[in-house]
Amino acid sequence: MSSLSSRYVTAVSRSVPESQREDVEAEVAAAIADLREARLDAGTPPEDVERAVLLELGDPMRLAADYSNKPLHLIGPDYFPTYIRLLKILAATVLPVVAFAVMLGKLLSGGDAGEIASGGIIAGLGVAMHMFFWVTLIFALIERNPGSKEAKPKWDPTTLPDTPPGGVRLGDTIAAILVALVAVAYLPWQHFNSPFTDAQGQSMPTLNTELWPFWIPLLMLGLLATAVLEFIRYRAGGWSWRFVAINAILELLVAVPVVWLAATDSLFEPRFIGRLVTEGWLDASLHLNVTIIIITIGVVIWNLIDPLRKVRRDTAMRAKRVGSLG
């Protein structure tokens, strides 16, 4: 037997359990010999025969798995649902707890904001990789344990998750109103009570003083209106097309000026930027403006798309509620 064939036989026999090795080896060798002979008789050029036969038999690991009935997958359909569910539960519980604990530790040991954030992210990534690896390993081992087939996990209808509630949740509404109100309060506060001081130690605003008397009140008005809309929407039980339209107008009323002002470099107070530059942040103006533009556009796009996703569901939900009451 030539080297390719004997290498193939070895490769197959290496992947079957010890007890069957000798037998399988002999069978595969005989099979190769027969297939060769048949191909030679059929007129295949002798130099191509061996290669063709081995290609016909295919990947030796696969053939070995067929011989010994071993799975060719890491986790099969019996365990896959349980595996995914466990991963989800761990990702939703252990992951945030560990990340939070690490961040708390950094905070208590006096780390700055960057250290705290990066510590949390790195710890989270590490834990995620560990969880994924070990859970996968354990399930792969269970899959390969012959006794485990009887202990197939059972599924029970009571474990079904709740259907997502239609309409608005109170928590979401409160969060949205708080964000809007904080932003409304920030606009005058940064002007009169800014924690930043110029080189002379005098308090200076972060936003351009020239934005008074028009732009800043406009922004405050827009944000206030957003808060009011959130409240009314909660009372009405979710999105309707009219809310979607008003929401879009309000979003653009706030976002377009902010993006425009940032793009024309007139959003921030020049003294504030100047101070940052003298502190060594040479590109402060560029970085801040670009950050503001990106965040604003991202938030606006989300706030325009999210209602579109929810409006149908909320409308149907309201109709159903009215129907079941009536």
Partner 1 sequence: MIYEEVLSGHQQELRRGTVVMAALATLETPGYGYGLLAVLEKSGLSVDANTLYPLLRRLEKQGLLDAEWDTTESRPRKMYKTSQSGRSLLDSLTAEWNYLATSLNALRSEEPNTPLKELP
Q: Beta partners for 268?
A: 207
Question: Which of 63/184 has CB closer to partner 1?
Answer: 63
Q: How many CB atoms lie within 10 A of CB 77?
A: 7
Which of 48, 66, 283, 306 contacts partner 1 by CB under 8 A?
Answer: 66
Are residues 253 and 218 in contact, defined by beta-carbon separation less than 8 angstroms? yes
* Among 10, 88, 92, 93, residue whose Cα is nearest residue 54: 10
Residues 67-126 binding partner 1 (CB under 8 A) are: 67, 69
Question: Which of 36/233 has CB closer to partner 1?
Answer: 36
Are residues 246 and 229 in contact, defined by beta-carbon separation less than 8 angstroms? yes
What is the C-alpha separation between 245 and 266, in angstroms, rounded? Answer: 29
283 near partner 1, rule: CB under 8 A = no
Q: How far is CA 64 from the centre of its chain?
A: 38
Per-position x/- string for 4-23, each x denoting binding to partner 1 as judged by CB under 8 A, each - no binding: -------------------x
DSSP 202: -
Which of 10, 22, 51, 56 contacts partner 1 by CB under 8 A?
Answer: 56
The residue range among 58-66, 132-140, 216-224, 280-288 that interacts with partner 1, by the rule CB under 8 A, is 58-66
**Total site size for partner 1, rule CB under 8 A:** 20
Which of 5, 8, 13, 24 contacts partner 1 by CB under 8 A?
Answer: 24
Question: Which of 53/211 has CB closer to partner 1?
Answer: 53
Sign of CA dihedral 184, 278, 264, 306: negative
Q: How far is the CB of 31 from partner 1 (least distance, A)?
A: 5
The residue range among 50-58, 119-127, 214-222, 248-256 that interacts with partner 1, by the rule CB under 8 A, is 50-58
What is the C-alpha separation between 23 and 2, in angstroms, rounded? Answer: 20
48 near partner 1, rule: CB under 8 A = no
DSSP letter string, 271-307: HHHHHHHHTT-TTHHHHHHHHHHHHHHHHHHHHHHHH
Residues near partner 1 (CB under 8 A): 23-24, 26-28, 30-31, 33-35, 37-38, 56-58, 62-63, 66-67, 69
